Amino acid sequence: MGKETFLLLFVLGAAAIAAWIALRLPKLAPTSFRGGTVHLVATLVVGAVLGPAVRAVPGLPSELSVLAALFLVALPAITYMMLVGMWIVQLAVAGAPARH
């Protein structure tokens, strides 16, 4: 499997986990745009820190450390970013005026 294919499947897996969390645990979702904005800002911080955090895993580029970086650092971060995106869409849909 090539790097591009793995990356695609990795991100799709993170999106599937995020969708599962959004559907299974709706009480975690923010109830206002203010709460959604807080999570959105947090995802920007997570995104900015993700690259340096992955590179800071000891032992890189050994195979075990790459797997640790991917599944212990990158997967939770990307899953959270996807989840917040889903929450923002849910808030936008809930706040949109109904069309008749």
In this prediction, residues 72-86 reach a mean pLDDT of 97
In this prediction, residues 58-67 reach a mean pLDDT of 86
In this prediction, residues 37-41 reach a mean pLDDT of 96
Q: What pLDDT shows up at residue 20?
A: 98
Find the Cα–Cα–Cα–Cα dihedral 46, 50, 52, 55, rounded to 10°: 160
